[in-house]
Amino acid sequence: MNWSVIPVDAYYDKEALLRASIKPEDKVLDLGFWGQAHTADKTTWPHRIIQDITPHVWGVDLVYDDAALKNKERYQRANVESFEFKEKFDVILALDLIEHVTNVGLMLDQAKKHLAPGGKLIVSTPNAFNLFVLAGKLSRSEPPTNSDHTAYFNRPTLNTLFEKCGWGIRKFGVLYTLGDLHTESLKKKILNGIYWLLSKRTKKFYETLVVIATPD
């Protein structure tokens, strides 16, 4: 499908995305659930938000603290490229994950194998051309990046990736913020103001991209 004709929904943050996308009866698999810049005791932790929406929650990550989890038997210390569950899931989540993965195609294959009929995969990842990246490119030789990231994406490359892996993107989305709390420089505060103004007119500079996909 031509990526430019796929509808784009705007969400304020991950909580808004999750509450719009998950129903109380859904069985949910959260890939790379641990952390995501929020500690497990915080109500802003995405995995806790998912647990607040539905009791049917499973998870996969390489490292996590068992003591912070209910239903420990539902969790696996495993690579997202090779995990195995007997269950099938209505929603599979990969939030801010694919940019860390060595082989995204293998992860997408595993997700497809574990998706129930009529289920959907929801992926979020940094927008390669968001305002803060573009400003970083203007002010230095390369924008600052996460040292654990292996790739960055925009809508055309995500569309190509999913098509090649046998998925159809049904909807794109954008997140205005991840809600991470940290000390910000004066430059970042000024950019935040510009970002807010631009967000009223266009979605193309939003910080994070979202894909909602089903197998073709």
Predicted pLDDT of residue 182: 62
Range of the domain at 68: 3-128+150-179+207-215
Residue range 157-175, pLDDT digits in tens: 999 999 999 999 999 999 9
In a domain, 60, yes or no: yes
Percent of the chain with pLDDT over 70: 98
In a domain, 198, yes or no: no
Report whether 175 contacts 206 (CB < 8 A): yes
In a domain, 167, yes or no: yes
Output the CA torsion sign for 170, 176, 182, 186: positive
List Cα–Cα distances, 171 to 4, 63, 97, 114, 193, in angstroms: 11, 31, 18, 21, 28
* Res 180 pLDDT > 70: no
Residue range 5-26, pLDDT digits in tens: 999 999 999 999 999 999 999 9
In a domain, 142, yes or no: no
Question: How many domains would you assign to the chain?
Answer: 1
Residue 181 confidence class, pLDDT cut points 50, 70, 90: low
CA distance 33 to 100: 13
Which residues lie below 8 Å from residue 197, measured CB to CB, with a gap of 6+? none
* Mean pLDDT calculated for residue range 169-191: 86
Q: What is the average pLDDT value for the chain, to the nearest integer?
A: 94
In a domain, 12, yes or no: yes
Residue range 117-142, pLDDT digits in tens: 999 999 999 999 999 999 998 888 88
In a domain, 190, yes or no: no
In a domain, 87, yes or no: yes
CATH of residue 43: 3.40.50.150
* Mean pLDDT calculated for residue range 90-100: 97
Predicted pLDDT of residue 95: 97
In a domain, 55, yes or no: yes
Residue range 63-92, pLDDT digits in tens: 999 998 989 999 999 999 999 999 999 999
Predicted pLDDT of residue 151: 95
